[in-house]
Copies of this chain bind each other. A is one copy, B any other.
Amino acid sequence: MKEKILCAKWILTSVEVEPLKDRCLVVQGDKIVELGSKQELLSKYPQAEVFFFENGLIFPGLVNAHTHAPMSILRGIAEDLPLMTWLNKVIFPLEAKLQREWVYWGTKLSLIEMIKSGITLFCDMYLFEPEVIKATEESGLKALVGEGLFDFPSPGYGPLEKGLELTEELLRNFENHAKIKIAVSPHTLYTCSAETIKKCLKLAEKFGAKIHLHLSENKEEVREIKKKYGKTPPYVLKDLGALSENLIAVHCVRLNKREIELLSRYKVKIVHCPESNLKLGSGIAPVPEMLKKGLMVGLGTDGPASNNDLDLFSEMRTACLVQKGIEENPSILTAKEVFKMATEIGAHSLGFKDTGKLLPGYKADLAVLDLNHVNLYPDYNPLALLVYSAKSGCVSDVMIDGEFIMRNYKILTMDEEQIKEKIQNIKKEILKILQKTFYISEKKNKLFS
């Protein structure tokens, strides 16, 4: 198989070492096999196809460890509302009318946005998840996905039992798949009974699968669970036997020190979604404390309806800035730590263990930051450019498993124009629904202002 050699002004192989200057990496099949100087590698691999990024920075593909990709179709539809109002008055009523096809096209739109943000792997929970899988397979991205499971009937699959059956079928079909893994995804403790969680655990155990759920996102949730169970969400999960290294717990905004220690003891994986947590007024997760206690904390954008983007550069930056600000300590969460969260830790948490660094033996999952953008001048510190200055529009190329899926800003695996057209049609259908429902006819400006 013909090798690919990628040469760049900078290569950030991992945060543990200084970025390499004027070096190349060799890709054989889906893997990185070697790093070195141009001269040395070009003479060692004379047949290789060579790609030059003269003013580029090659970095490990970012990992969006939590999102609801199809929700891009609802971006901007309701702003400046509290989580429970947003969910109950806008999102849930709209999702009750959700069309299978919308999920497919919404995911496609989000996949393009993620590629342009240098994301090569993501974790998704939503409805009609087979559509998410179909779109993702077409795109070339890697993902851990799971159908969102609730006690109440789902617009996606109907009654819970059908959701569990669907999940089991997916687990079977995607066992040992190179790019797609399946998670069992009970939505949260306030939408899933103890009984439902237990069924999910049993199914996950059968396949050695990850469990992916929202946990302790805001104080209303904690209050409700405490009222129902007499204890806080992490302790409810403990009693149910749900705490394990296979559990991916998203948000974890309202955790106290004891709860952090508890989750750490069970090696639970945390996903931090700072922008969504801020925007919905949920609060700010105690990330420095989590890291101090040895918890693995990945980074996610959450759905684009509550963020409102899928830009992990922005998420890294916000994660750092907010902690520095509230702790009044600019060293409390560094560029290095947050970049690690957004790459290796995320990848490991989602069960993709051979990605997240650009070293021999790792998968060739990478992106190229185009340093020709004025906001990326000058280049004293490549890592700081990635975390504090880069934006999704600054990524020129993305490679997954050794294949380019974006080359010189052009998405190679999807038809961007077709997707945009479909989205505008879906928008019209959604607007028709909105016009028929109470919350838009009653108080028009509430939604749109």
Binding site for B on A (CB under 8 A): 18, 72-73, 75-77, 79-83, 86, 109, 112-113, 116, 218-219, 275, 277-284, 307-311, 314, 318, 320-322, 324-332, 334-336, 372-375, 377-381, 383-385, 388-389, 391-394, 416, 419-420, 423-424, 426-427, 431, 448-449
Q: Which of B281, B310, B374, B381 is the one whose CB lies under 8 Å from A324? A: B281
The residue in chain B whose Cβ has the minimal distance to the Cβ of A281 is: B330
The smallest C-beta distance from A186 to any residue of chain B, in angstroms, reads: 25
The residue in chain B whose Cβ has the minimal distance to the Cβ of A384 is: B76
| A375 adjacent to B329 (CB under 8 Å) | no
* In the complex, chain B residues whose CB is within 8 Å of the CB of A309: 375, 388-389
* In the complex, chain B residues whose CB is within 8 Å of the CB of A321: 275, 278-279, 318
Q: A374-B116, A375-B310 are in contact. Are A384 and B79 (CB under 8 A)?
A: yes
Provide the bound-state CA to CA distance between A219 and B329, in Å: 12
| B75 adjacent to A380 (CB under 8 Å) | yes
Q: A318-B321, A325-B322 are in contact. Are A427 and B378 (CB under 8 A)?
A: yes
| B427 adjacent to A379 (CB under 8 Å) | yes
Q: Knowing that A336-B449, A391-B392 touch, tell me 15 more A-B residue pairs with CB under 8 angstroms.
A: A73-B378, A76-B380, A76-B381, A76-B388, A77-B380, A82-B330, A82-B331, A83-B330, A86-B330, A116-B374, A275-B321, A281-B331, A377-B420, A380-B427, A393-B394
Determine the main DSSP class of A at the interface with B. Answer: helix
The smallest C-beta distance from A372 to any residue of chain B, in angstroms, reads: 7
The residue in chain B whose Cβ has the minimal distance to the Cβ of A389 is: B308
Provide the bound-state CA to CA distance between A218 and B329, in Å: 11
| Chain copies in the assembled complex | 2
Provide the bound-state CA to CA distance between A72 and B388, in Å: 13
The smallest C-beta distance from A143 to any residue of chain B, in angstroms, reads: 18
* In the complex, chain B residues whose CB is within 8 Å of the CB of A310: 375
Provide the bound-state CA to CA distance between A326 and B420, in Å: 36
Provide the bound-state CA to CA distance between A283 and B325, in Å: 5
The smallest C-beta distance from A252 to any residue of chain B, in angstroms, reads: 15
The residue in chain B whose Cβ has the minimal distance to the Cβ of A321 is: B278
The smallest C-beta distance from A277 to any residue of chain B, in angstroms, reads: 6
* In the complex, chain B residues whose CB is within 8 Å of the CB of A324: 80, 278-281
The smallest C-beta distance from A427 to any residue of chain B, in angstroms, reads: 4
Candidate in A18, A81, A330, A381 with the most chain B CB atoms within 10 angstroms: A330
| B284 adjacent to A325 (CB under 8 Å) | yes
| A278 adjacent to B77 (CB under 8 Å) | no
**A/B interface sample: 10 pairs, CB < 8 A:** A75-B380, A76-B385, A79-B384, A277-B325, A281-B329, A282-B328, A283-B328, A308-B388, A374-B420, A383-B449
